[in-house]
Amino acid sequence: MNTAKLLRFILLLTTGISGAFATETSSGPLRLAVVGLTHGHSARFVTNALARLDVKFVGIVEAGEGLVARAMERHQLPRGFFHDRLDSLLANGKLDAVAAFNMTFEHLAVVEACAPRGVHVMVEKPLAVSLEHARAIERAATNGGIHVIVNYEPVWSPADQRAFELVREKNAVGEIRKLVAHDGNNGPVGKYRR
């Protein structure tokens, strides 16, 4: 994947910019697939990817028929767009990147399947279930010459970028002796509320 496509992949992941702001470029569309629909962010990501002019969304890998049925209805996609296994999508060699919204335990298998084919991977947080898995992901990515990106939104938010600049680059608050952070969310609206 050329640098322009990699940057578009990162921007798609980090900003969620819709197709209204994206245009096809001379490097061609980013050929993208989604692996798994179990993570809550997958629906919004698929919606944004389908709306972009600079992305060729080539398929979704999901074995759960209930998740497939919901995605077909939500995104108006035909059944043929869905695959039970990642290797069926990788076999055609027409992928630049994969966004993995599957279970954390499955991240290693996705990277190990994509890396030898030069397909970059984004996984949802956390990266891995263990240090052993994390190191195996690192080895596979290094050997395959790919990037593995963890979609941890706060790192890319403008507020966090500005705070980092003020604290680390401009020393605007002096020496940091202690940091207390409160972060997180209440999950999907209504699902976990009492």
Q: Please tell me whether the overall predicted TM-score, pTM, comes out greater than 0.95 for this model.
A: no
Q: How far is CA 123 from CA 25, 60, 63, in A?
A: 25, 14, 18
Least Cα distance to 123 among 12, 39, 6 occurs for 39
Tokens (6 digits) for 182: 């409160």
Distance between CA atoms of 103 and 129, rounded to whole angstroms? 10
SS3 percent helix, strand, coil of the chain, rounded to 5, is 45, 15, 40
Least Cα distance to 128 among 141, 146, 145 occurs for 141
Q: Which of these ranges, 29-33, 89-93, 146-150, has the smallest mean pLDDT?
A: 89-93
Give residue for tokens 């759960």. Answer: 64
Q: What is the pLDDT of residues 130-164, one digit of tens each?
A: 999 999 999 999 999 999 988 876 655 677 778 77
Distance between CA atoms of 148 and 167, rounded to whole angstroms? 27
Q: Strand pairing partners for 100?
A: 35, 123
* pLDDT band (50, 70, 90) for residue 189: very low
Least Cα distance to 89 among 112, 64, 119, 109 occurs for 119
180: Cβ contacts below 8 Å, ≥ 6 apart: none
Check residue 18 and give its pLDDT: 44
CATH number listed for the domain at residues 3-153: 3.40.50.720
